[in-house]
């Protein structure tokens, strides 16, 4: 009788512990996108190496929250000042509780805001934002990492301090993984966008590109010996156009207009169903944000079926050199003869295809106003239209 009672006690304790574990796991996996999502931190349990590499990747760091003390320290940003004129300046201070930008008029701080969010991985620049109630607003200044300069944010007034530009959901759709949006009526002629702060998932996480994974995680936790990925879309099984569409949902520029948020875009969906998505028609798109259209203009894509992952490992965090990328070119173009290139320059060709066939070009959409000047630093990006250009060898 005593053994039976002891068995029942252990059985009840086992059920109780199991229930606690299940509840704890569900609580940890709670995701603002809904129960179909596991939360990308769950991916680390089985994909540790990929996860550790990806957390340092530019996609994962497309945006970050800076709401905790010292969270801006990793950006290694200096204090600074931007001068509109002798009496109107913007000051930047990195204090213990965060990064601040202040409107300085005749030396007095008339308005100061704490930086709550940063956009960009810092390869070229950082853009900053602050919460104003439930609205996300852009800070007056950007920081250029290569030039080590604080500059006026693109599109802002060139002669006055401006704290009034809202960051809308369309921006977050390419720089974050999710935010719950609220449309608030603003007078009789429109609406304003507000967000649920706790719902914002900064950066591009695993499930933004691979789709909801809760069912996948639950299956493989229950069946650890099954190695074939279940309940996930396989990119290898998708058509070429669908694979690059998944990249193109963010790398096609800001011209895409949708009836629903692109946060709902999943592997296997197609951009052609989205209103106002423009396929390539022979033009030369701006280098800012339109990598998909530029690639579609290339014979490497049209004939060679080259796609984004032909050259880019989206999980890798190591910085690639032009020589590494050039090796990818040479793997397909081993027999190319550069007849117009002088003999003395041919040694360069084995190490650098990129600068000739994917040159750095200036964006016509973005420029950065320098302090104390009306002059703008052009935004230079490498074009993804792979072609034969007029080079310095010719």
Q: Which helix (H) or strand (E) holds 276?
A: none
Q: How far is CA 110 from the centre of its chain?
A: 33
Count of positions (residues) in the chain: 394
C-alpha–C-alpha distance, residues 178 and 173, integer Å: 7
pLDDT at residue 24 greater than cutoff 50: no
Does residue 264 carry a pLDDT above 50? yes
163 vs 64, 78, 83, 158, CA distance in Å? 20, 21, 16, 13
Across the strands, what pairs with 202?
176
CB proximity list for 235: less than 8 A, separation 6 or greater: 243, 246, 267, 309
- Name residues whose C-beta falls within 8 Å of residue 326's C-beta, 6 or more positions apart in sequence: 350, 351, 352, 353, 354
State the pTM of this model. 0.86
Average the pLDDT over each of 125-129, 190-194, 201-205, 257-261 and give the range with the smallest value.
257-261
Name which of 201, 117, 204, 105 is nearest 161 in CA terms: 105
Q: Which residue has the higher pLDDT, 9 or 24?
A: 9
Mean pLDDT value across the chain: 87
DSSP for residue 52: H
Q: Which residue in this structure is represented by tokens 């396929």?
A: 279
Residue bearing tokens 């304003």: 192
Taking CA 171 as the corner, what is the angle to CA 170 and CA 175, rounded to the nearest 5 degrees? Answer: 125
CA distance 308 to 355: 18
So what's the pLDDT on residue 132?
96
pLDDT (tens digit per residue) in 212-262: 999 999 999 999 999 999 999 999 999 999 999 999 999 988 766 666 789
Instruction: Tell the burial category of 355 from Cβ atoms under 10 Å away from its Cβ (0-12, 13-18, 19+).
Output: middle
> Could you report the per-residue pLDDT of 343-368, keeping only the tens digit for each?
777 777 778 899 989 999 999 888 99
Across 77-173, the runs of DSSP E, i.e. the strands, are: 80-85, 88-95, 98-105, 108-114, 117-119, 125-132, 135-138, 141-144, 149-152
Grade residue 103 by pLDDT with cuts at 50, 70 and 90: very high
Cα distances (Å, whole numbers) of residue 10 to 23, 194, 333? 20, 51, 68
């Amino acid at each position: 009788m005593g053994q039976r009672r002891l068995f029942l006690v252990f059985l009840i304790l086992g059920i109780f512990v199991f229930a606690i574990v299940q509840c704890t796991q569900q609580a940890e996996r709670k995701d603002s996108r809904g129960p179909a999502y596991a939360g990308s931190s769950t991916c680390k349990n089985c994909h540790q190496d990929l996860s550790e590499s990806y957390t340092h990747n530019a996609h994962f760091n497309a945006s970050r929250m800076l709401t905790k003390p010292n969270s801006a320290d990793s950006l290694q940003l200096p204090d600074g000042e931007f001068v509109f004129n002798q009496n109107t300046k913007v000051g930047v201070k990195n204090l213990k509780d965060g990064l601040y930008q202040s409107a300085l008029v005749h030396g007095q701080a008339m308005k100061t805001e704490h930086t709550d969010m940063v956009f960009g991985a810092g390869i070229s620049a950082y853009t900053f934002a602050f919460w104003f109630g439930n609205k996300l607003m852009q800070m007056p200044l950007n920081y250029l990492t290569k030039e080590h300069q604080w500059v006026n944010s693109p599109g802002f007034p060139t002669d006055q301090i401006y704290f009034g530009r809202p960051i809308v959901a369309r921006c977050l759709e390419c720089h974050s993984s999710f935010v719950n949006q609220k449309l608030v009526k603003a007078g009789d002629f429109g609406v304003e966008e507000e967000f649920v702060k706790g719902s914002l998932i900064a950066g591009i996480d695993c499930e933004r590109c691979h789709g909801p994974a809760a069912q996948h995680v639950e299956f493989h936790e229950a069946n650890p010996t099954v190695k074939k990925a279940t309940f996930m879309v396989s990119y290898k099984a998708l058509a070429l156009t669908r694979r690059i569409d998944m990249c193109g949902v963010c790398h096609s520029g800001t011209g895409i207009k949708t009836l629903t948020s692109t946060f709902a875009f999943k592997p296997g969906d197609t951009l052609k169903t989205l209103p106002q998505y423009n396929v390539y028609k022979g033009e030369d798109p701006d280098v800012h944000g339109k990598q998909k259209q530029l690639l579609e203009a290339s014979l490497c894509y049209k004939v060679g079926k080259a796609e984004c992952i032909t050259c880019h490992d989206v999980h890798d965090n190591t910085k690639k050199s032009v020589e590494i990328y050039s090796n990818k070119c040479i793997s397909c173009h081993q027999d190319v003869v550069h007849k117009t290139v002088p003999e003395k320059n041919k040694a360069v060709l084995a190490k650098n295809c990129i600068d000739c066939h994917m040159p750095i070009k200036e964006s016509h959409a973005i420029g950065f106003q320098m302090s104390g000047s009306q002059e703008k630093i052009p935004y230079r990006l490498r074009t993804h239209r792979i072609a034969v250009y007029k080079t310095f060898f010719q």
